[in-house]
Amino acid sequence: MYIPHTIFDLSIINNVLVFEETDSTNTQAKHFADAGSVPGTLLVADSQTGGRGRLGRSFSSPANEGIYMSLLLKPELEVSVLSRITLVAAMAVCDALDEIPGINASIKWPNDVLINEKKAVGILTEFHAGEFVIVGIGINVNNSSFPDSINGIATSLLLETGCEQDCTDLLLRVCYYFDRYYQQFCQTQDLSFLLDDYNRRLTLMNKDVILIPTEQTVKYENSYCIDPEGYEIVHCEGLMKDGSLLVSKADGTITTVDSGEVSIRLSK
Ligand code: BTN
């Protein structure tokens, strides 16, 4: 992928590395961090042979069909707020996607962006060596089909609009919005500035959801099942400025849930 020099107008980007093929741009970002690469490095690949997602899942990364990018950052932020960067990135991606006619992106808290209820984007934020944050974003852009394992739950911009999209243009827009949101976030270290917009995009908003403690999600023959013991149905009241979700329980009590503790599914 060709990345124009205008990318350096953004304050967070100092350096760009483009790979025709790599294992994972997040993994490469860690290697480059260890080798002394400057924070503010953007890594982009045309394809990944080992694209990674949350909870040890893989991320399908076929050549020239998607955007596979990682931003290597070294934020001067408290460790406790770093996971909020995933939510900042999700908002940036949504704003960039919404510039494409016919697209209305929503967020499956905390790290997926959906179009028409199917996953078009995954975000994997990783912390490295105690000082680096790597924000990995994978966007299904011009995929005309998906592997059987995700067919039916994944979509692409091509499938949703009927038109091929320009990956470079979209990547620049994602970086532009991320730069803006990230700078705002770094000033306050909380998410108050985007709460209303985020809650408008939140797929779980005002819905009954199943809270599944992370340890109840068990891997079985390459797919994930819910251990039926111990999950709970609650009502989602929206995002809090600390990045947690506010939920109300059947007994009327209100509590917050953190992405580290639970995964969440819509209750059908
Ligand atoms: C998920 O779906 O759980 C997150 C997927 C994140 C995929 C992106 S693609 C670029 C970067 N490199 C990776 O290996 N993963 C992220």
Strand-pair partners of 66: 140
- Give burial (CB, 10 Å; 0-12/13-18/19+) of 260: exposed
At 46, give phi and psi (nearest 5°).
-75, -30
Q: How confident is the model at residue 258 (pLDDT cuts 50, 70, 90)?
A: confident
- Mean pLDDT within 100-123: 96
Protein residue with its CA nearest to atom 1 in ligand 1: 53
Question: CB of 173 within 8 A of CB of 138?
Answer: no
Q: Do strands 208-213 and 41-48 pair parallel, antiparallel, or not at all (unpaired)?
A: unpaired
What is the DSSP secondary structure assignment for residue 29, as one 8-state letter?
H
Q: Is the CB of 62 under 6 A from ligand 1?
A: no
pLDDT > 50? residue 260: yes
Alpha-helical segments (H) within 38-146: 84-98
Rg (CA), the chain: 18
Q: How many residues does the chain have?
A: 268
The pLDDT of residue 221 is above 60: no
Tokens of 136: 């990995």
Cβ–ligand 1 contact at 29 (below 6 Å): no
Ligand 1 pocket test target in 68, 107, 140 with most atoms within 8 Å of CB: 68
The predicted structure's pLDDT at residue 106: 97
**Residue 15, strand partner residues:** 41
H or E stretch at 73: strand 66-73
Q: Is the CB of 66 under 6 A from ligand 1?
A: no
Global pTM value: 0.93
**pLDDT tens digits, one per residue of 53-98:** 988 899 999 998 999 999 999 999 999 999 999 999 999 999 999 9
Supply the pLDDT for residue 68.
Answer: 98
Question: Quick check: 222 pLDDT over 50?
Answer: no
pLDDT (tens digit, 9 = 90+) per residue, 114-139? Answer: 999 999 999 999 999 999 999 999 99
141-185 pLDDT per residue, tens: 999 999 999 999 999 999 999 999 999 999 999 999 999 999 999
Q: Which atom of ligand 1 is nearest to the CA of 119?
A: 2
| Predicted confidence (pLDDT) per residue in 2-51, tens digit | 888 899 899 999 999 999 999 999 999 999 999 998 899 999 999 999 99
For residue range 225-251, what is the model confidence (pLDDT) as tens digits?
444 556 788 999 999 999 999 999 989
Cβ(70) to ligand 1 under 6 A?
Answer: yes
